[in-house]
Amino acid sequence: MLADVQFDIRDQAVVAKVTGEVDLSNASQICDAIGEATPNTALGVVLDLSPVDYLDSAGIHLIYRLRENLRARGQKLLLVIPLDSPVQDSLRLAGVTQHLAIAPSADEALADFAPARAEADAAKTPPEDSDRDTPQGEPAV
Amino acid sequence: MLPPAAPFLAPADQLRILSGLSDPALSELGLEELLDEVLERVQQALEVDTVAILLYDPEAGQLLARAAKGIEEEVEQGVQLPLGKGFAGRIAAERVAIAIADVDHADILNPILREKGICSLLGLPLVVEGNLIGVLHVGSLVPREFGERDLAVLQVAAARVAPGIERARLYSALEREHRVAVMLQRSLLPRELADFVGVGVAARYLPARDGVGGDWYDVIELPHGLVGIAIGDVVGHGIRAAALMGQVRFALHAYALEGHPPGRTLELVDRYVQTMREHPMATAAYAVFDTETGSLRLATAGHVPPIVVGPTRACVLDVAPAAPLGAFPYGSCPEHELTLASGEMIVMYTDGLVERRGTALAQGIEDLLAMVSNAGSAEQVCRSAMGGLVPPEGLDDDVAMLVLHILPVPTRLRLHLAADPRTLADVRRVIRRWLRERSADADDINEVTLAVGEACANAVEHAYSPGPAWFELDATESDGEVTIQVRDTGRWREARGENRGRGLRIIDAAMSDVELTPTSTGTEIVMRRRLRTS
């Protein structure tokens, strides 16, 4: 087995931790699996690539495709890649580092979701005068 | 009283019919056919209405109707008779022949004999080497006084047939167990060995003379360019050992996939074996080989030490084995680390291969070492060991062996590869090893590997031909500069959209000089880079 993905839900975001090597043989399967594991209610995905020791252009394509798919659902993608990771070399050689949102750790990536989380929490709290909208005596439907 | 029924057949004819019972052909028959044949001939020779064979089940202490003519109901209804009681029970218990002229007045337990209207009976015990194996009896629907001559004929039949019954019974039981065990063993061993570029693997499993045992081997593809190789032995024979072997092998495979190092993997398998109700005795050796660096981490639990053979050495690894699996609670399993050079092989085997009666185990291992030290491939090691150590009649114990060969990486690396995405990981391992042996540093290795990976991925992706497609890689080094050529049979696909074309960008950035040339059959990319260490 070349790679594995482990999922976790933290602070309303999906944390997908990929281990091993990502190349043409498994990139699109990994992308699909992450899409499947992300509920519509999640704020977004933290793609943790810290334990990845090889990532080629198929893997970079995965990142872009996942970002597009999530954007269409109003969700965000954040990457976790430590500075000394070989994945940084791939991104640098492909010239894409500056186009991607990269955090050095999963905690820092999750912190980026804080404003979105506050917004989502506010939307969930019902307005105080909500029950006055229903006219007295009429059964709520 | 009716006169005794005289036999219609002359004694000579009786004997001719019976002599057929010693036909060599009969010994080829399975138990069912043999019994059927015997009953037929006895019925003809004695001209009786019924013939039955009851087999003795020593565990139940009962006679079980096994085959019958004229009273087939006996078998269909599964008639069981206790020893010592009734006609057949007395014959078996007292081991004497009994003749009853008038059944109505006798002590008959079996209602079928009465319902059938049997008038007279003659029966005798079937004995082989002093052991009772059953009862053979004949009956007549008309009153008949069975005489000395009838008894003599029946005795001849019994004497001829009893060993055959015993042999057939043992044979069919053994054969059934053997068939099931072999099938089980086969289904529990890896169907085919994983194929790795840069590494050669060969394995053997040989059942013991008398059937399968609990030996096994496994090859496990792990992430990060690691290959796990395992071998083991669950003590015992037959179906039980084979089934336990399967459990132990699968447990190790699963723990190995979790990425545990060899020592911890064996410790976890040990904990698993501790929980097995069967309390099996088992040994195992597990090693993880790094295809890039050549490093091998090895742990053994009560298992015979692996050997290493190669162009410059042939030795038994000096590993202190931990206790066998399941032997002590919370046993620990130390790890040993060594490096295998290009061209070297590690040979794992089970004790069945090296254990000889009257010879020390250490001598057996030395013999194995001598036998395989000149072999040039994993397959040759297996062939030499099996050919040299397994006598034609087979061994008392089953044998498993597994060989991993670190294929030498030539100075000029030329690979002919299947255009399959799964090949890419293998190519990376080989390129990394090749670069390492050219004294490339870590940055060189990472970046060149990435560029080669991209070039190969493109060849794989664009191999258009239906059916198996191939591509070629050719790597050379001269004065500190590596030149790598990848040639495919497809067309280099133009970059499409923003997300494509990154592969080529990576190649351009990683290598100092890149030429992309369409050829008559496909595309050729040549890339160069000066190694920093040079």
| pLDDT at residue number B394 | 81
Chain-centroid distance, C-alpha B37: 36
In this complex, the residue of B224, B257, B505 whose CB is nearest that of residue A94 is B505
Helix (H, G, I), strand (E, B) or coil at B190: coil
C-alpha pair distances (Å), A72 with each of A99, B119, B443, B480:
18, 95, 38, 49
Where do the CATH 3.30.450.40 domains begin and end in chain B? 11-178
Q: What is the DSSP letter of B198?
A: T
In the numeric block, the tokens 């990576």 are attached to B506
Residue of B531, B527, B534 whose CA lies nearest to B513: B527
Q: Is residue A131 part of a domain?
A: no
User: Which residue segment(s) compose the domain that A8 sits in?
Assistant: 3-104
In this complex, the residue of A23, A94, A96 whose CB is nearest that of residue B457 is A23
Residue of B402, B388, B290 whose CA lies nearest to B345: B402
Neighbouring residues of B6: CB distance < 8 A, sequence distance ≥ 6: none
| pLDDT at residue number B208 | 84
In this complex, the residue of A23, A86, A89 whose CB is nearest that of residue B425 is A23
Tokens encoding A99:
């186009």
> Alpha-carbon distance B265 to B418, whole Å?
33
Helix (H, G, I), strand (E, B) or coil at B373: coil
Helix (H, G, I), strand (E, B) or coil at B375: coil
> Alpha-carbon distance B84 to B92, whole Å?
7
CATH of region B413-530: 3.30.565.10
**A2 to chain B: closest CA residue:** B223
> Alpha-carbon distance B51 to B365, whole Å?
59
Residue of B156, B138, B165 whose CA lies nearest to B18: B156
Q: Do A57 and B222 lie within an 8 Å CB cutoff? A: no
DSSP element (H, E) containing B19: helix B11-19
| pLDDT at residue number B469 | 82
**A63 to chain B: closest CA residue:** B499
In this complex, the residue of A20, A24, A89 whose CB is nearest that of residue B450 is A89
Neighbouring residues of A73: CB distance < 8 A, sequence distance ≥ 6: A40
**B428 to chain A: closest CA residue:** A54
Q: Do B428 and A61 lie within an 8 Å CB cutoff? A: no
| pLDDT at residue number B491 | 57
Q: Is residue A86 part of a domain?
A: yes
Alpha carbon of A57: minimum distance to chain B alpha carbons (Å): 5
ipTM: 0.83
| pLDDT at residue number B318 | 92
Q: Diameter of chain A by CA atoms?
A: 69
> Alpha-carbon distance B451 to B503, whole Å?
8
Cβ neighbours, 10 Å, residue B459: 29
| pLDDT at residue number A134 | 47
Q: Is residue A84 part of a domain?
A: yes
Q: Which of A24, A60, A84 to mutate to test the interface with B (most CBs of B within 10 A)?
A: A24
Q: Count the domains in chain A.
A: 1
- pLDDT per residue, tens digit, chain B (534 aa), is 444 444 456 666 766 666 666 555 555 566 777 788 888 888 888 899 999 998 888 777 888 888 888 888 777 777 778 888 888 999 999 999 999 888 765 667 777 777 888 889 999 999 888 888 899 999 999 989 998 888 888 888 888 778 777 777 776 666 666 777 777 777 777 766 666 667 889 998 888 877 778 999 999 988 878 899 999 999 888 888 888 999 999 999 999 999 999 999 999 999 999 999 888 889 999 999 998 889 999 999 999 999 999 999 999 999 988 999 988 888 899 999 999 998 999 999 999 999 988 889 999 999 999 999 999 999 999 999 998 998 888 888 889 999 999 988 888 999 888 888 988 988 998 899 899 989 999 999 999 999 999 999 988 887 665 667 889 999 999 999 999 999 987 655 554 544 458 999 999 999 999 998 887 778 899 999 999 876
Mean pLDDT, rounded, for A99-124: 88
Helix (H, G, I), strand (E, B) or coil at B376: coil
- Classified by CATH at the fold level, domain B11-178 comes out as Beta-Lactamase (3.30.450)
**A25 to chain B: closest CA residue:** B421
Q: What is the DSSP letter of A45?
A: E
| pLDDT at residue number B7 | 47
Is the Cα dihedral B369, B375, B377, B382 positive or negative?
Answer: negative
Angle formed by the axes of helices B31-46 and B11-19, nearest 10°? 170
CATH for A52: 3.30.750.24
> Alpha-carbon distance A30 to A34, whole Å?
6
Where do the CATH 3.30.565.10 domains begin and end in chain B? 413-530
Task: Tell me the pairing of strands B314-316 and B98-100.
Answer: unpaired
The class level of CATH for B189-406 reads alpha beta
Is the Cα dihedral B243, B400, B179, B238 positive or negative?
Answer: negative
Q: Is residue A138 part of a domain?
A: no
Residue of B490, B489, B485, B488 whose CA lies nearest to B514: B485
Mean pLDDT, rounded, for A43-72: 95
Q: Which of B420, B423, B506, B527 to mutate to test the interface with A (most CBs of A within 10 A)?
A: B506
Where do the CATH 3.60.40.10 domains begin and end in chain B? 189-406
